[in-house]
Structure 1
Amino acid sequence: MTSSPSVGALLRTWRERRGISQLELAGRADSSSRHISFIENGRSRPSKDMVLRLADRLDVPVRDRNALLLAAGYAPHYAQTPLDDPSMGTLRQGLERLLTGYEPYPALVVDAAYDVVAANRGIAMLLDGLPAHLLTPPLNAMRITLHPEGLAPRIRNLTEWRGHLLAQMERQIALSRSAPLRALYEEVAGYPVAARPGDAGAGPEEAVPSIALPLVIEHDGHLLSFVSSIATFNTPMDVTVAELAIETLLPADPATVKYLRSLGP
């Protein structure tokens, strides 16, 4: 039977992922490189406060901070409350108000695996006409976007947008080493990509501001351009909350604004 990694081994792995030395970590954690070395090689058992401090300085995801505590022999510090739990009612209502208030522009909330937790009518508008098998809960934002029967055929700059999404997932996998996220990445990266005119990017008549890579997508004969923004919660104390991300699609040109507003409430 394979034994679980020690807390020292896990901390060393996170330190090496971040590319910092024991001395640098010691300075960040108000400790000594000798003490960090002793923790990593198992000669010293860190206190619960030290585990949490090191995890904070190493920017370890909340879920993995609990794993560090368990490896050190302590109880998890962060709860993992289902989003449908009554105690999450205020959070759910707040997210719903935020999404509704952003209409007619698209906005959604996803979890760590890109499963859609909530979405507004702007997102529903973009998904109109997709096959039922892609819209069966749990909806997955990456799968819906990149699947050849999903939004992919409607995205005019699919090559660029696909590359952006896959690079985003790669960064998250490097940070979290999540097996489910890796499996999702391998699935969507393997989808066939059909070549189409204009796929390399927007044409002259479709110019958008160069502040960020736009999502250029067709809807009902209209060409819409959006810039994506992602927000997370500050200093979350619950695994579920820590892994939520709110994505808003900001219109990137006046024509997109005019069209969305013309759709009415």
Structure 2
Amino acid sequence: MPQSASEEELKLSRVVEEVRAGKRYRSVTDQTVRRLARAALAVEGGDITKATKRTKRGLHEIFGAFMPMTPKYEALLCKVREAVACNEPEAIRAALEPALKAHSSTRERLPILSELYDEIFARLGTAPTTVRDLACGMNPLTIPWMPLPVGATYIASDIDHRLVGFVGKVVTALGVTNRVEVRDLLTEPDPEPADVTFLFKAVPCLEAQGRGLGWKLLKQITSPVLVVSFPTKTLGRRSRGMYRTYSTEFSRRIADHPWKYDEIEFGDELVYIIRKD
């Protein structure tokens, strides 16, 4: 017998409460938790226990696996502010490194940051005055490695309130005009234009939540230039043919679009610079 809408909402609330009971995902935006919980209940036939486990597994795949430990945000922020007060670029970069290492993507990218951004910005042509960073993680903290023009605005978003709050304070301490906010890209895509949009390693995470969702987002983004990347190795450092898988899928997915793009491989990351205009 089909469940009533009230029964479905009651079960959804129960699953959300169970997920929130633990500290791990307590600060993830409600939009994401409810979306995953609703999908889990549908798959598990309304079983609350199984749906709770599935929801937590989904949160691990899109967020927890990349940050196994919750950083000590206040202590990290104090170190950054102290370095900024000294006004020494190398000291600022050194103060940012512990936070960058707390997230697997920026940890892997750290040794090649200068090379990566020099290459990307060189291919952009005109220096961007607005940069948008979706599913940003700790990536806005790499601003000191970017050749951003003076006065540029950095717009970033992710799904965790604590992470976003920390990132926003750091970028402000760095003296960069910014707007850093909590946003679930699958329930609230960001339509605001920007000169360039970064989407680092996010497409596979979106695809894990529904086939075609990551590629759909690429079409929705209004920036004339997108910088999109894919991992070429797993978090366990295994390749498993990921380069071929993603490069083949990328070529297939954009075949019907009049977009031009450059493909570059940096470290364990396959980067595409897409020009929509």
TM tier, shorter chain? Answer: 0.3 to 0.5
The higher-RCO structure (CA 8 Å, 6+ apart) is 1
Give the alignment's TM-score, normalised by structure 1: 0.33
